[in-house]
DNA sequence: TGTACATCAGTGAACGCGCGTTCACTGATGTAC
DNA sequence: TGTACATCAGTGAACGCGCGTTCACTGATGTAC
């Protein structure tokens, strides 16, 4: 029992140290981007550079941890945003809350956003286990569409004819994520989703500099437009 | 006269050398991203690294040249795309041609696209003279909207109420780029524009990996959807 | 037209720096009897 | 409860490498008289 306690102390200290390394590394993303330096992190941590190898086997592994954390943080932000709307039948409200939560996270952590939604890091290949966390926001969104359709709030848009290769890709996706959802709704949803991340990237990557001054208002307007586009009530 | 000729020979050789340096540097974007190495470029060029300083005062200056070239190449692609439609009154066709030209360029030169539309390079500040070239594609697009409106092909969407901060930002932009164009049309245009670059970034930065297989078809579908969204005839 | 001088591209050595990773080590902390 | 041993975090030196930039230089090419 004393052993157990002692053992878990060691484990806790280790976890804290790991967190501290990641915290400092995250700070370095701002100045170095994805080519952050282990030695610089060690320096800030007040430790010799080789000490980091007790926690991460390589620079790439640390980078992967940061990427994973970023995906999960954004996933959690999306889920919390959606969950914050108490009237679960208010799907437009849930969409806006989710969209807003995503932007808020991105604005607060722009370099982590860039890490996962910006240009790929040259030479870096994401391991398989980023796939799940990366999908969390899209799961929230797809659930929204499914619920909206089930409740009859979203009607399948009329007159949307999907070209057959598009229909095939969308259908394959639906089979995995949302069987039963009409492809035309999903396709519109994907357009809205693309616009959402386009909007955030435009803002954070400086494409709107000197053009838009009230970013929040412009984003909100876009998200309302997208709500209407996917067939949510306004 | 012989002097003139000789002088222009020297100038021509110099220009060719400059182009060659940029060509090789562009190749290095693929492997090193924005933190390309002067020494590596010099090595590939078969020249000692300090020789490059006869052509570019610093690494940043070379990077700026690449960025400028990328902006201009994309600008030219947009303009050529638009100009390729002989029936100038076919605004939907011109929109689709322009959109396609932009994507084609991006797909052909993904690293240059990433350089100008991806995450900002940490520590790098774009000089003022990138502003003009950077705007070339948006000029093509805005002209499209203006012409469409003037010809009565695009009707101001009804029921679009812009929140006042959005209206203010859009109005200020219109004053510079397209006086007389209704703000509601411009706002929808900006949404479409955002979606366009969102779509390309999604594709090139790997967000659609394992989801979309026929990228061209999906993009084309999105651009048709956006044409409809801004009020172009389908 | 021929010669003296100026311009310019490219060289090679050097400066001072930073990097990721390995490895044998020390000393503290935890575990088993 | 006390002791012998195992685990583990962190050290410090080293490896072999790459980087941007400066500077005095050589030699070829162009210019002016």
B98-127 pLDDT, tens per residue? Answer: 999 999 999 999 999 999 999 999 888 888
In this complex, the residue with its CA at the shortest distance from the C1' of nucleotide D31 is B3
Confidence of residue B3 (pLDDT cuts 50, 70, 90): very low
Confidence of residue A9 (pLDDT cuts 50, 70, 90): confident
Chain D nucleotides reached by a protein CB under 7 Å: 8-14, 18-24, 29-32
Percent of chain A with pLDDT over 90: 88
Query: What distances in angstroms separate CA B46 from CA B12, B14, B43, B62, B85, one per listed residue?
Result: 20, 16, 5, 18, 44
Q: Does position A188 have pLDDT exceeding 90, yes or no? A: yes
Q: Which of residues 7-36 of B touch A (CB under 8 A)?
A: 30-33, 35
Comparing CA positions, the residue from A53, A103, A116, A89 lying closest to residue A204 is A103
Sign of the CA dihedral running A38, A44, A47, A52: negative
- Contacting residues of A for B163, CB less than 8 Å apart: 217, 220-221
- Contacting residues of B for A118, CB less than 8 Å apart: 118-119, 205
Confidence of residue B190 (pLDDT cuts 50, 70, 90): very high
Q: What is the pTM of this model?
A: 0.96
Phi, psi (degrees; rounded to nearest 5) at B6 = -55, -45
Q: What angle do CA A10, A11, A15 make, to 5 degrees?
A: 120
pLDDT tens figures, B135-152: 999 999 999 999 999 999
Query: What distances in angstroms separate CA A24 from CA A46, A56, B4, B130, one per listed residue?
Result: 11, 14, 60, 34
Residue B167, Cβ density class (10 Å: 0-12 exposed, 13-18 middle, ≥19 buried) = middle
Q: Is B119 on the interface with A (CB under 8 A)?
A: yes
**Nearest-CB residue to A206 (from B120, B168, B173):** B120
Residue B12 contacts strand C, CB under 7 A: no
- Contacting residues of B for A208, CB less than 8 Å apart: none
Distance from the Cα of A184 to chain B's closest Cα (Å) equals: 12
Residue B137, Cβ density class (10 Å: 0-12 exposed, 13-18 middle, ≥19 buried) = buried
Cβ–Cβ < 8 Å for A110, B119: no
**Nearest-CB residue to B119 (from A31, A199, A205):** A205
Lowest mean pLDDT segment, chosen from A103-107, A128-132, B187-191? A128-132
Question: Could you count the other beta carbons within 10 Å of the beta carbon of residue A124?
Answer: 14
Distance CA A210, CA B162 (A): 19
How confident is the model over B192-210, as a mean pLDDT? 98
Q: Does position B2 have pLDDT exceeding 50, yes or no? A: no
Residue contact B195–A197, C-beta within 8 A: no
pLDDT on residue A156:
86
pLDDT on residue B156:
86
Which H or E element spans position A80?
Answer: helix A59-83
Return the number of CB contacts < 8 Å for A and B: 123
Question: CB-based contacts with strand D under 7 Å?
Answer: A 10, 14, 17, 47-51, 54-55; B 2-4, 6-7, 9-10, 36-40, 49-50, 53, 58-60
pLDDT tens figures, A80-98: 999 999 999 999 999 999 9
Query: What distances in angstroms separate CA B78 from CA A175, B94, B95, B102, one per listed residue?
Result: 37, 10, 10, 6
Residue B95, Cβ density class (10 Å: 0-12 exposed, 13-18 middle, ≥19 buried) = buried
Task: Look over chain A and give the mean of its residue pLDDT values, rounded to a whole number.
Answer: 95
Provide the CB-side half-sphere exposure for A13 (13 A, CA): 6
Tokens found for residue B61:
């200056």
pLDDT on residue A2:
36
Provide the CB-side half-sphere exposure for B146 (13 A, CA): 13
Residue of chain B whose Cα is closest to the Cα of A28: B122
Lowest mean pLDDT segment, chosen from A61-65, B69-73, B156-160? B156-160
The CB-based long-range contact list for B42-49 (8 Å cut-off, 24+ gap) reads B45/B20, B45/B21
Q: Does position A184 have pLDDT exceeding 50, yes or no? A: yes
**Nearest-CB residue to A194 (from B32, B117, B222):** B222
**Nearest-CB residue to B122 (from A32, A121, A214):** A32
pLDDT on residue A76:
98
């Amino acid at each position: 029992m004393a052993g157990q306690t002692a053992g878990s102390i060691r484990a806790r200290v280790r976890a804290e140290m790991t967190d501290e390394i990641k915290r400092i590394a995250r700070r370095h993303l701002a100045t170095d981007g994805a080519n952050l330096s282990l030695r610089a992190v060690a320096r800030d941590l007040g430790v010799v550079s080789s000490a980091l190898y007790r926690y991460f086997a390589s620079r790439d592994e640390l980078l992967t941890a940061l990427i994973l954390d970023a995906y999960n943080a954004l996933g959690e932000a999306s889920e919390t945003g959606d969950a914050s709307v108490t009237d679960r039948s208010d799907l437009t409200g849930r969409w806006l809350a989710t969209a807003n939560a995503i932007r808020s996270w991105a604005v607060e952590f722009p370099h982590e956003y860039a890490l996962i939604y910006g240009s790929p890091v040259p030479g870096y290949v994401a391991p398989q286990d980023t796939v799940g966390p990366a999908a969390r926001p899209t799961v929230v969104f797809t659930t929204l569409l499914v619920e909206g359709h089930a409740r009859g709030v979203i009607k399948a848009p009329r007159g949307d004819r999907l070209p057959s290769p598009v229909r095939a890709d969308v259908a394959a996706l639906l089979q995995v994520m949302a069987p039963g959802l009409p492809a035309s709704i999903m396709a519109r949803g994907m357009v809205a989703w693309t616009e959402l991340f386009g909007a955030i990237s435009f803002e954070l990557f400086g494409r709107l500099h000197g053009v838009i001054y009230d970013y929040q208002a412009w984003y909100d307007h876009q998200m309302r437009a997208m709500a209407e586009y996917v067939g949510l009530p306004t």
